[in-house]
């Protein structure tokens, strides 16, 4: 009986041990699935950010072309071609860049006759329902495409009246009325004989500087147009990742019914019960709201899952409790250490007074941005900013109000930049620095910083520069290459700041 009792006990211990081993294996398996789901969602968040950056950079070139038109009395076809071909060389995934002037119906005959001096067969056209290009119908205003690059594969758009198609017309009217770039919904691009979907972005150019909607309609000079194919625009993003592991769809959710814009599918996807579904609304794209939806493939889990769940199932019964206890303690310890590390790292990178990045964080970021700009051959801009006569402010109002002034100025500068990768830091004392990668509107941003600080209306009665706190800004932009180093950018920005101070302060000077 005793032996039987011992055997029963051993069997019970063995069964309990086996049960614990199985439960431990199942728990480890579920834990890893949850971790992989979280990892997948983090990767998709990074993917969404990459898509937003890629699209933002491609669409921002339209503003460069608008500045080119605004700074010229007249832009010839040769000048347009030279300017846009340089852009397309850097961005080959842009389908076309175009210019369409505003032509009144009463001026149509004169305009057509003038164009036929160079292009005998020129006509303002529209597309027939069967795809044929026919003379455009009479309407009060026309926007025919007269400049375009690249010219190969885009011949059909020459003379095409953009107002002849409702989806294009809707985006054009919205762009003109709001003085903002506006994107169309998914449309068939007439450059291709077969139906091929993409989208256009319209950016209006005006005579003078109209303020009201009626003035904008009256003084519209023409439209700058960017034509894009989704597969071309997103190819680089997906080439940089393990796209074969994802099933990705992008929808236009602007209207009541979603429209599928882009699909990237794999051979098979994981079953729905894994809860591996990701959906995120991207930042608005010039009046359109796009949504990214993704699921992982089975290969994603096969490639990333470790053999730990299977090992756990065969762990010896004698070490079950020990391993579970040790694992739990280790996880908690690592988590606490990681939290402490992250907390200390955040403290070490943040200025304790202004709660923005400190000098150490600035040094890390500008080095990384300089390296990235060198790889991608893109410009990098640095703004060096100094609070005017801050020592006089401290002497007049005391250090407590001086600290409060630094906080307000820091927040005003932080709110003066709009892109998530623009970087504001306290450089030291009353000095601040702003890093602007890939920016075509440096002058506007620098002036916005100066204006926003002045608008705080912080009293500074003893300042030689005025009755309120102001700043002086030095700006430098460099495109890194083998002959330039980071120190040149910093020196140029600092020199520009010094020149701005010599000019009387409360101003912006460019190196």
Q: Give DSSP secondary structure letters for 373-391.
A: HHHHT--EEEEEEEETTHH
Q: What is the pLDDT of residue 301?
A: 65
Q: How far apart are alpha carbons 372 and 144 in whole angstroms?
A: 40
**pLDDT by position in tens, the chain (length 511):** 545 565 576 577 667 766 766 777 677 777 777 777 788 788 888 888 888 888 888 888 999 999 999 998 899 999 999 999 999 999 888 999 999 999 999 999 999 999 999 999 999 999 887 678 899 999 999 999 999 999 888 888 999 999 999 999 999 999 999 999 999 998 888 877 556 778 999 999 999 889 999 999 999 999 999 999 887 777 766 665 555 667 888 888 998 888 888 887 765 544 444 566 788 888 888 889 989 888 887 766 666 666 666 566 555 545 555 555 555 455 466 667 777 777 777 778 999 999 999 999 999 999 999 999 999 999 999 999 999 999 999 999 999 999 999 999 999 999 999 899 899 999 999 999 999 998 888 999 999 999 999 999 999 999 998 899 999 999 999 999 888 899 999 999 999 999 999 999 999 999 8
Q: What is the pLDDT of residue 42?
A: 85
Q: How far apart are alpha carbons 390 and 431 in whole angstroms?
A: 10
Tokens encoding 26 = 């199942």
Q: Which residues contact 455 (CB under 8 A, 6 or more apart)?
A: 412
- The phi, psi pair for 80, rounded to 5°, reads -60, -45
Q: Which residues contact 348 (CB under 8 A, 6 or more apart)?
A: 360
Per-residue CA distances from 150 to 157, 183, 227, 416 (Å): 11, 20, 11, 36
Q: Which residues contact 447 (CB under 8 A, 6 or more apart)?
A: 508
Q: What is the pLDDT of residue 272?
A: 41
Q: What is the pLDDT of residue 342?
A: 73
Q: Which residues contact 466 (CB under 8 A, 6 or more apart)?
A: 454, 460, 506
Q: What is the pLDDT of residue 270?
A: 45
Q: In 3-state terms, the chain is what percent helix, strand and coil (to 5)? A: 50, 20, 30
3-state secondary structure of 305: coil
Q: What is the pLDDT of residue 230?
A: 81
């Amino acid at each position: 009986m005793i032996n039987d009792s011992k055997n029963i006990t051993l069997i019970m211990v063995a069964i309990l041990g086996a049960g614990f081993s199985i439960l431990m294996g199942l728990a480890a398996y579920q834990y890893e699935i949850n971790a992989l789901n979280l990892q997948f969602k983090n990767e998709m968040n990074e993917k969404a950010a990459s898509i937003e950056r890629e699209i933002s950079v491609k669409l921002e070139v339209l503003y460069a072309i608008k500045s080119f038109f605004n700074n010229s009395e007249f832009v010839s076809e040769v000048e347009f071609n030279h300017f846009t071909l340089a852009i397309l060389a850097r961005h080959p995934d842009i389908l076309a860049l175009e210019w369409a002037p505003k032509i009144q119906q009463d001026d149509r005959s004169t305009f057509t006759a003038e164009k036929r001096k160079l292009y005998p067969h020129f006509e303002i056209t529209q597309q027939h329902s069967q795809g044929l290009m026919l003379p455009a119908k009479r309407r009060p205003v026309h926007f025919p495409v007269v400049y375009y690059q690249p010219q190969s594969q885009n011949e059909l758009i020459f003379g095409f009246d953009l107002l002849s198609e409702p989806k294009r017309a809707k985006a054009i009217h919205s762009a003109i009325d709001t003085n903002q770039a506006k994107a169309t919904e998914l449309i068939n691009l007439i450059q291709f004989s077969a139906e091929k979907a993409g989208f256009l972005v319209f950016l209006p150019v005006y005579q003078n500087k109209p303020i009201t909607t009626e003035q904008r309609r009256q003084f519209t000079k023409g439209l700058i147009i960017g034509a894009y194919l989704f597969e071309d625009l997103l190819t680089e993003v997906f080439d940089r990742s393990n796209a074969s592991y994802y099933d990705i769809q992008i929808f236009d959710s602007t209207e009541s019914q979603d429209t599928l814009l882009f699909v990237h599918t794999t051979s098979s996807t994981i079953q729905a019960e894994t809860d591996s579904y990701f959906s995120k609304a991207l930042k608005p794209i010039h009046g359109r709201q796009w949504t990214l939806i993704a699921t992982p493939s089975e290969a994603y889990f096969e490639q990333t899952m470790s053999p730990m769940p299977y090992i756990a199932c065969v762990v010896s019964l004698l070490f079950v409790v020990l391993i579970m206890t040790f694992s739990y303690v280790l996880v908690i310890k690592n988590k606490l250490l990681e939290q402490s590390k992250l907390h200390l790292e955040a403290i070490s990178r943040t200025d304790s007074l202004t709660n923005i990045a400190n000098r150490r964080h600035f040094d890390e970021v500008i080095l990384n941005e300089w390296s990235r700009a060198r790889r991608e051959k893109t410009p990098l801009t640095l703004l060096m900013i100094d609070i005017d006569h801050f020592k006089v402010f401290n002497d007049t109002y005391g250090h407590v109000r001086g600290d409060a002034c630094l906080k307000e100025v820091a927040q005003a500068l932080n709110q003066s930049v709009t892109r998530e990768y623009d970087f504001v830091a306290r450089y030291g004392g009353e000095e601040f620095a702003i890093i602007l990668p890939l920016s075509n509107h440096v002058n506007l941003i620098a002036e916005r910083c100066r204006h926003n600080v002045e608008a705080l209306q912080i009293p500074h009665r003893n300042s030689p520069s005025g009755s309120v706190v102001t700043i002086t800004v030095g700006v430098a932009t460099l495109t890194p290459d083998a002959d330039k180093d980071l120190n040149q950018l910093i020196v140029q920005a600092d020199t520009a700041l010094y020149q701005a101070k010599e000019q009387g302060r409360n101003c912006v000077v460019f190196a």
